[in-house]
Amino acid sequence: MGMVWVEAAMGPGAMRLILLHGWGAGANDLEPVGQSLVQLLKLAPEAVTLRCLAAPDPHPAGAGALQWYNLQQTGWPEVPQAVAALKTRLQQELLAAGADPVVVLGFSQGAAMALEAATAMPVAAVLAFSGYPHPDWQPQLQKNWMPVFLAHGRKDPVVPLTAYEEVCKRLTAAGASPSGYLFDGEHSIPPEALAAAAEFLRGLRLTNKA
């Protein structure tokens, strides 16, 4: 698979926020979400390095749409290669961040990628919105107290609520204590879910401003 990464930086600072978009979205689809989260945390833009990572492959819809792997292939055989490639990039992000905390936020397919790749690495936190577990994923947590925030719509017609429940089950079995937030909505990141994620991050005290 060809690997293309698009970055949108808000300047070096106290936190590195990595955004992984969903299936069929563009590289910068979650940039407004990242900017809103920074505002909710009451952090100055220069205090955060915001990274919008682009999925490696074109989506069948074309027009600039991207995918982390082909969801239309039976069994999703591209998942292992896609996860390995993302781990390589996240390792580079961790090295670039130095002592600054790295937070990974994903939506839908991007959330599934974040859950498998990022929880196995020394990131500060993972925020997964409307995510799902890959079939063979058994969490290999970097640390038992890995902070994971999960948000999901009760009426999600794309990724059913049972996917959220399965993610919680697997993380708990691996020793984690995920923080869950359910909202009365569909496949989206509503303001109330983002506010809950900000409250979760504030509780971690990742920066002296959050």
> SS3 for 45-68, per residue?
HHHEEEEEECCCEECCCCCCCEEC
| The pLDDT of residue 143 | 64
Q: What does the buried/exposed string (b/e) look like for 101-122 if buried means 16 or more CB atoms within 10 Å of the residue's CB?
A: bbbbbbbbbbbbbbbbbbbbbe
Taking a C-beta distance cutoff of 8 angstroms, is the pair 18, 102 a contact? yes
pLDDT-derived band of residue 140, with 50, 70 and 90 as boundaries?
Answer: confident
pLDDT of residue 208: 55
User: Using CA atoms, how far apart are residues 79 and 115, in angstroms rounded to an integer?
Assistant: 13
Pick the closest to residue 108 from 142, 74, 92, 132 (CA basis). 132
The whole-number average pLDDT for the span 89-115 is: 96
Q: Which residues contact 170 (CB under 8 A, 6 or more apart)?
A: 133, 137, 138, 139
Q: What is the average per-residue pLDDT within 74-102? A: 95
pLDDT digits (tens, 9 = 90+) for 95-104: 999 999 999 9
By percentage, how much of the chain surpasses pLDDT 70? 90
pLDDT tier for residue 26 given thresholds of 50, 70 and 90: confident
The overall average pLDDT reported for the chain is: 90
87/117 Cα distance (integer angstroms): 6
53-68 confidence digits (pLDDT tens): 999 988 887 778 899 9
| pLDDT higher than 80, residue 114 | yes
Please give the pLDDT value at position 207.
66
**pLDDT score of 2:** 36
* pLDDT higher at 111 or 59: 111
- Mean per-residue pLDDT, 121-145: 90
Q: What domains can you pick out in the chain, each with its CATH number? A: 15-204 (3.40.50.1820)
Q: Which of 23, 20, 39 is nearest to 187 (CA)?
A: 23
Residue 144's pLDDT is 61
